[in-house]
Amino acid sequence: MIKTTTALLLLALLTLTGCATGTDIKSADNAKPMHQHGLPPTKKAICANPAAAPSSQCSESATSTFDSKGVLWVTWVNNDFLYVQSSPDKGLSFTTPVKVNAVAEAIAAKGESRPKIKLDNNGVIYLTWDLTLDKKRSTHIRFSRSTDGGQHFSSPVTVNDNIEIIRHRFNSMAIGKNGEVFIAWLDARHTEADKKAGKEFKGLTLYYTWSDDGGKHFQPSKSIADHACECCRIDTAMAPDNTPVIIWRHIFDGKIRDHALVKFKNWNTPGQVTRLSHENWEIDACPHHGPALSITEAGTYHAVWFSNAESRQGLFYAYSKDAGQRFSEPVNFGNDGASHPHVLGLGLQVAVVWQEFDGTNNTIQIIKSGDEGKTWSNPEVIAQSTEMIDEPFLVSDGQAIYLSWHSLQHGYKLKHL
């Protein structure tokens, strides 16, 4: 049986400080006393030196994926440049880093906001990231691709067609079976328009664009839903019928910030908004804890999320067998200090990882299921450190599930589960 969590202490304290709607607050994992020794002075000097060789150990985060041939691809940021490396041997060795953007730009690469990397069935590499602008919290969504196996990358382009210096943030990308590129993000154009008109607009609007020619051109940006929570990551997965499914934290009934889901009818038409979670977390601030979604080839949806509602707190998992219309009774897991869950389903197997802080160590913990999420193993610590660690993620080569994680002290790590 999975141990049920009690209150997630630090986030509760943060939400009680009276932050105004739309104001970012530090996420619980960033605010915890995590004994962050940081890098040694010599390493700090090397990382700050633009003439030094780029290193993933100078990045606060790393994002990875496998291609159809089982090659691991990793992207990270060093001194305002995005780099890509690959590994043919499951992370034992890596190719020389290749720079994506020829001109330095301020790339968001921490916590809930980080570069994304995906590949299609033909080996084309796609990258997205949030470009930080001069105005506070304002960003654009950037895109680049490589058609020659990561040797060269296209000049970055901005995919949001609204180019006001406002928020276009927390992008999520998914790739279709025919090389379609889907990108969604949280957008402030409706929020800013209402503000100028003297009206109140809760949260941001979930927007998307897509490309049917492998990223050469993108369709005009379109909205999916208004009133998305403005400071939580979103996630996108592809359904078996080759349409995107997107999950996000939504603002219901003015102040309740639970989760919602939309399955697209086709690439141009979002479906109806379906409510996923029902904890009824009433909060007028920013949790900085977004959900995650995985869809298997058989069509089972696996979702995880965080809540700190008065009656139900902690991390939650649920599955759906009917394309997200109804989900199973949520399973509550983790202990106090648990945060940022991620899920991956592969056939009948499902794995969920998350972070915890026990007062001394930052740990990455896992639960596993062999029956599509109906029953679960006891939690197991699979990595720990007294130093700061990045949020954990799960990736698969189609044969097995792997833990993907990163720390400033030790760089990128991949662990077979």
Asked if residue 3 is part of any domain, the answer here is no
Structure tokens at 63: 């994002």
C-alpha to C-alpha distance for 248 and 29, rounded to whole angstroms: 20
pTM for the model: 0.90
HSE (side-chain half, CA atoms, 13 Å) at 142: 24
Domain range for 280 is 9-416
Taking CB atoms within 8 Å and a gap of at least 24, the contacts of 294-299 are 294/237, 294/343, 294/344, 294/345, 294/350, 294/394, 295/237, 295/238, 295/239, 295/240, 295/245, 295/345, 296/345, 296/346, 296/347, 296/372, 297/240, 297/347, 298/240, 298/347, 299/239, 299/240, 299/323
Asked if residue 336 is part of any domain, the answer here is yes
Contact predicate 179/122, CB 8 Å: yes
What pLDDT score was predicted for residue 26? 30
What pLDDT score was predicted for residue 395? 98
Asked if residue 1 is part of any domain, the answer here is no
The structural domain count of the chain equals: 1
What pLDDT score was predicted for residue 39? 65
Quickly count: other Cβ atoms within 10 Å of residue 130's Cβ: 24
C-alpha to C-alpha distance for 225 and 370, rounded to whole angstroms: 35
The position carrying tokens 């030094």 is 52
What pLDDT score was predicted for residue 5? 37
What pLDDT score was predicted for residue 113? 94
Burial class (CB in 10 A: 0-12, 13-18, 19+), 8: buried
C-alpha to C-alpha distance for 275 and 249, rounded to whole angstroms: 10
Element (H, E) at 30: helix 28-31
Asked if residue 231 is part of any domain, the answer here is yes
C-alpha to C-alpha distance for 256 and 249, rounded to whole angstroms: 10
Contact predicate 116/109, CB 8 Å: no
* CATH at residue 146: 2.120.10.10
CA distances from 381 to 355, 356, 385, 390 (A): 10, 9, 11, 16
Asked if residue 2 is part of any domain, the answer here is no
Asked if residue 4 is part of any domain, the answer here is no
Contact predicate 317/379, CB 8 Å: no
Burial class (CB in 10 A: 0-12, 13-18, 19+), 33: exposed
The position carrying tokens 């610590």 is 381
Which phi and psi angles does 195 have, rounded to 5°?
A: -60, -40
C-alpha to C-alpha distance for 28 and 16, rounded to whole angstroms: 13
Per-residue pLDDT in tens (0 to 9) along the chain, 417 residues: 333 333 333 333 233 222 333 333 233 333 333 233 456 677 778 888 888 899 998 999 999 999 999 999 999 999 999 999 999 999 999 999 999 999 999 999 998 999 999 999 999 999 999 999 999 999 999 999 999 999 999 999 999 999 999 999 999 999 999 999 999 999 999 999 999 999 999 999 999 999 999 999 999 999 999 999 999 999 999 999 999 999 999 999 879 999 999 999 999 999 999 999 999 999 988 899 999 999 999 999 999 999 999 989 999 999 999 999 999 999 999 998 899 999 999 999 999 999 999 888 899 999 999 999 999 999 999 998 888 889 999 999 999 999 999 987 778 999 999
Asked if residue 179 is part of any domain, the answer here is yes
Asked if residue 218 is part of any domain, the answer here is yes
